[in-house]
Amino acid sequence: MSPQPQAAVGRPVSRVEGRLKVTGQAKYAADQTASGTAHAAVVDSSIARGRITGLDTAAAEACPGVLRVISHRNAPTLPYLPNRGSLNLPGERLHVFQDDRVLFHGQPVAVVVATTLEAAQHAASLVHVQYTAEPSATDLTSAPADEPTTYARGDAAAALASAAVRLDLTYRLSRMHHNPMEPHAIVTRWDGAELTVWDKTQWVQSTRDELAAVFGINPASVRVISPYVGGAFGNAARCWPHATIAALAAREAGRPVKLVLTRRQLYFGVGYRPAYEYRLSIGSDLQGRLTASVHDLRSETSRYETFAERGVLVPGRMLYTTPNVTQSHRTVPLDVNTPTPMRGPGYSTAAFPIESAVDELAHELGIDPIELRRRNEPENDQASGLPFSTRRLRECYTVGAREFGWNRRNPKPRTTRDGDWLIGMGVATAVYDTLRAPAQAHVRLDARGTAVVESATSDMGPGTYTSMSQVAADALGIDVPQVTFRLGDTTLPQAPVHGGSLTMASIGSTVQDGCDRVRQQAIALAVGDERSPLYGADPAAVVVYDGRLHVKGDPARGETYRQLLTRNDRTHLEATGSYTPAQSRASMHAYGAVFAEVAVDARLGMVRVRRMLGVYDAGRIISPKLADSQAIGGMVGGIGAALMEHTVTDHRDGRIVNANLAEYLVPVNADVPALKAIYLNGRDDQADPIGVKGLGEVVLVGVAPAVANAVFHATGRRVRHLPIAPEDLL
């Protein structure tokens, strides 16, 4: 088949759902306001571990408008069938209202259902719960750990012992919360045994399968709808306990129920990026060539499930040439709720210690940090032995150094001033693996030359609606406005979780496959139709552009979809596209080089980011306007991780003390100056049929260490924990 002209892909298309979003018409989960819907408010525990000994609901039940107060005292036993899908973890998910045990501070202990939100919230405050508290442990640094996951190659201990230079360093990363602007919200409605759910989710199938398993019903009896997601960054991939609460409340109250978690409840009602302690020893020769690294990690998890960030050990094995590597990762069970992946999971965690340590080594040896990284650039993936599909880090460094003005950097720390401000520049490498998963999409092209493309994926902000419309438009040979892409509904063809930067590769390849099939049907129809100008033409020589089929190189010989289908009495053509990732014979990752310039107040220790540049090797860029936004957003998120974000737990009782947006600081507009992103032109044809490597995660990965390295360069002070606070620099 002849390759289709690339008309939409690669062009700066504006967000196709933009108009709905700027006018307030895009309906998020909590925007479902069907009349007769009751409101639910959750009562959460005020101890971290123990038993509920008293639960007085009389005052709550006496409130006007209250329909039900449900707790373990009166809740039905729920089946909680095993569900290996839905991203459930080793261990057993939290069961709500099934017994008197309290496993973490903030665990749901009751729910009030009322006719109005005001009544539900007030009545929830009147539920009197008494507890017998038991000693709790929530501090990662002092609790015993599980058995480790390990990795070794070579003899790292011996290589370290004989290294010309050796650094033994301990880094700490704070717990972080995703804090998407949209709180988790769900509306549940039972029609007999059928359950309909409007959910905030990155994966409608996850909610469907989990609710089906919890209630012991057929997944086919559950429909989950989620057309718009107000950000998620990983924390809406699993189906959290509040979904069960809402479905239970609707069943018990006999009417639809809306449950929106409060901002405070988002700090324990859904997951978070776990805190880490990361011990790292590296050895090198005098030219800065790494000879060994030893990585010992501890991260928090709950007592009822084991969560270990996927990928956290990967960069230590493959990012730089290192003959001898030893790694261990221990999870530490605590009296906390279960963590979950957050943007750039694992890779962004590992980036802070590894990229800081490389910077420390460069300083120790008096070698430029970029030059040191170049000296350790591997020729293949040392962990798997596989060749890289594409790896253009050297080019990222070169372009970035040139565009950022790296040559203006005085290598000596604390030498550049601007009045009271100490100025520093830092760099860090970003890497994230290219994930792909099987998916399906349905494509229907009607006789007017417009198409509807459907897949049960999601769009939490990157622009799935837009980028899929671009892929479909080119594969069908029509314009983007002629394509309607539908997602976020379990009645649509199966799709994987919208996370891990796998959506473009997986759904994009699926959409292209489905559209290719429809286009080929049309071509076959035309070349076999005596009345068509294309009759008898070689199907492989026919392309479609602007809704018109024609012979490549002979635009005059052709006809439109409309003419073809109308003449043949066809209302539409349709096909189901699918994609199954081929087994990879290469090491596939997206890469980036991130540059930051900071100013640090010499007397106050206050850090301000002045400018940043990210240069990325992410394969083919489908939607450059939206990809740019993703990268800028990744930098903003990384600035938060570097300088602000820190979930603070009172270890005396396990309570999170800053569970709000006034005390858990995230960047605001005044914190964000000039940010720039550059994507290297290219594609990775080994990765997937459309040549992309994924970009939503990699754009976050190197940001925090780049800022931290710039802070060191500005001040001469090395801070080995995140976030970096003013008091660290005084």
- Segment 163-222, which members bind other proteins (CB under 8 A)? 178-183
| Secondary structure in 3-state letters for 319-354 | CCCCCEEEEEEEEEEECCCCCCCCCCCCHHHHHHHH
Q: Taking the complex as a whole, how short is the minimal distance between the CB of residue 138 and other proteins, in angstroms?
A: 13
Least separation in angstroms between CB 706 and other proteins:
15
CA atoms within 13 A on the CB side of 281: 19
Tell the residue number behind the tokens 């990361």, with chain if given: 278
* Nearer of residues 461 and 493 to other proteins, judged by Cβ: 461
- The encoded tokens of residue 49 equal 């571990």
CB 481 to other proteins: min, Å: 14
Query: Is 365 among the residues that bind other proteins (CB under 8 A)?
Result: no
Tokens (6 digits) for 647: 């979930």
CB of 345 to other proteins, least distance (A): 17
**Spatial separation of the C-alpha atoms in residues 728 and 62, rounded to whole Å:** 53
DSSP 29: G
Among the options 300, 305, 360, 697, which is catalytic?
697
Residue with tokens 């640094």: 141
Q: Which is nearer to other proteins, 188 or 630 (CB)?
A: 630
What is d(CA 350, CA 345) in angstroms, rounded to the nearest whole number?
A: 9
Residue closer to other proteins (CB basis): 129 or 621: 129
Structure tokens at 383: 């962990």
Please select the residue that binds other proteins; options are 1, 5, 64, 168, rule is CB under 8 A.
Answer: 64
Q: Quick one: which of 448, 653, 658, 678 contacts other proteins (CB under 8 A)?
A: 653
Q: Identify which of 615, 603, 588, 586 has the alpha carbon closest to the alpha carbon of residue 678.
A: 615
Q: What is the 3-state secondary structure (H, E, C) of 254-279?
A: CCCEEEECCCHHHHCCCCCECCEEEE
- Residue 382 near residue 321, CB atoms below 8 Å: yes
Laid out side by side, the sheet with 185-191 consists of: 66-71, 108-114, 38-44, 257-260, 185-191, 194-199, 222-225
Size of the site for other proteins (CB under 8 A): 89
Q: Which is nearer to other proteins, 415 or 658 (CB)?
A: 658
Member of 89, 120, 137, 229 binding other proteins (CB under 8 A): 229
Q: Map the footprint of other proteins across residues 8-37, applying CB under 8 A.
A: 14-15, 17-28, 30-31, 33
For other proteins, the closer CB: 494 or 660? 660
Choose which of 316, 345, 400, 463 interacts with other proteins (CB under 8 A).
463
What is the Cα–Cα distance from 586 to 383, expressed in whole angstroms? 12
Instruction: Indicate which single residue of 75, 350, 443, 460 sits in contact with other proteins (rule: CB under 8 A).
Output: 460
Closer residue to other proteins (CB): 476 or 594: 594
Site for other proteins in 131-170 (CB under 8 A): 131-135
The helix (H) or strand (E) run that includes residue 246 is helix 241-253
Region class of 106: left (phi > 0), else alpha (psi between -120 and 50), else beta? left
Candidates 384-392, 484-492, 666-674, 678-686; binding stretch for other proteins (CB under 8 A) = 666-674
**Residue among 122 and 720 whose Cβ is closer to other proteins:** 122
Judged by beta carbon, residue 565 or residue 639, the one nearer other proteins is: 639
| Closest approach of other proteins to the CB of residue 182, in Å | 4
Distance of alpha carbon 453 from the chain centroid: 24
Q: Which two tokens stand for residue 681?
A: 């032109």
> Does the footprint of other proteins cover residue 666 (CB under 8 A)?
yes
The tokens 């070349």 sit on which residue? 527
- Least Å distance, CB 681 to other proteins, is 20
Q: How far is the CB of 74 from other proteins (least distance, A)?
A: 18
Q: Are 1 and 524 in contact (CB under 8 A)?
A: no
Could you give phi then psi for residue 639, rounded to 5 degrees?
A: -65, -40
The alpha carbon of residue 160 and the mean position of all alpha carbons in its chain are separated, in whole angstroms, by: 36
Phi and psi (nearest 5°) for 75?
-75, 145
**Least distance (Å) between residue 17 CB and other proteins:** 7
Point out which span in 123-131, 271-279, 482-490, 583-591 binds other proteins (CB under 8 A). Answer: 123-131
Nearer to other proteins, 368 or 479 (CB): 479
Backbone angles phi, psi at 712, to 5 degrees: -60, -45
CB 346 to other proteins: min, Å: 21
Strand 483-486 and strand 721-722: the pairing is unpaired
- Token pair of 93 as six digits: 């998910």
Rounded to a whole number of angstroms, the minimum distance from the CB of residue 237 to other proteins is: 15
- As given in the structure block, the two tokens for residue 453 are 């493309």
Closest CA to 600 of 675, 708, 673: 708
Is residue 194 annotated as part of the catalytic site, yes or no?
no
Residue 82: how many other CB atoms lie within 10 Å: 9
Looking only at residues 254 through 283 of this chain, which bind other proteins when binding is defined by CB under 8 A? 260, 262-263
Q: How many of the other CB atoms lie within 10 Å of CB of 597?
A: 26
Strand partners, 721: 172
Backbone angles phi, psi at 61, to 5 degrees: -65, -25
Answer for which of 2, 11, 46, 387 binds other proteins (CB under 8 A) is 46
Q: Tell me how far, at minimum, the Cβ of 10 lies from other proteins, in Å.
A: 16
Q: Which of residues 291-310 bind other proteins (CB under 8 A)?
A: none
Among 626, 707, 710, 714, binds other proteins (CB under 8 A): 626
Sign (positive/negative) of CA torsion 334, 131, 184, 95? positive
Q: Which is nearer to other proteins, 565 or 631 (CB)?
A: 631
CB of 723 to other proteins, least distance (A): 16
Radius of gyration of the chain (CA): 27
Q: 549 by DSSP, 3-state: which? A: strand
Interaction between residue 403 and other proteins (CB under 8 A): no
The smaller minimum CB distance to other proteins, of residues 182 and 305, is found at 182
The footprint of other proteins on residues 83-122 (CB under 8 A) is 116-119, 122
Q: 58 or 730: whose CB is closer to other proteins?
A: 58
Q: Is residue 580 at the binding interface for other proteins, with CB under 8 A as the rule?
A: no
Stretch that binds other proteins, among 89-97, 390-398, 427-435, 668-676 (CB under 8 A): 668-676
Closest CA to 713 of 288, 368, 351: 368
The answer to whether 655 contacts other proteins (rule: CB under 8 A) is yes
Q: Report the site for other proteins in 672-701 (rule: CB under 8 A).
A: 672, 674-675
Q: The tokens 């209302």 sit on which residue?
A: 571
Measured from the CB atom, the residue of 129 and 706 that comes closer to other proteins is: 129
Please give the structure tokens belonging to residue 726: 């003013």
In sequence order, what are the beta bridge partners of 709?
none
Residue 421 DSSP label: E
Q: What are phi and psi of 652, to 5 degrees?
A: -70, -35
- Minimum distance from residue 125 beta carbon to other proteins (Å): 7
- Residues catalogued as catalytic: 697
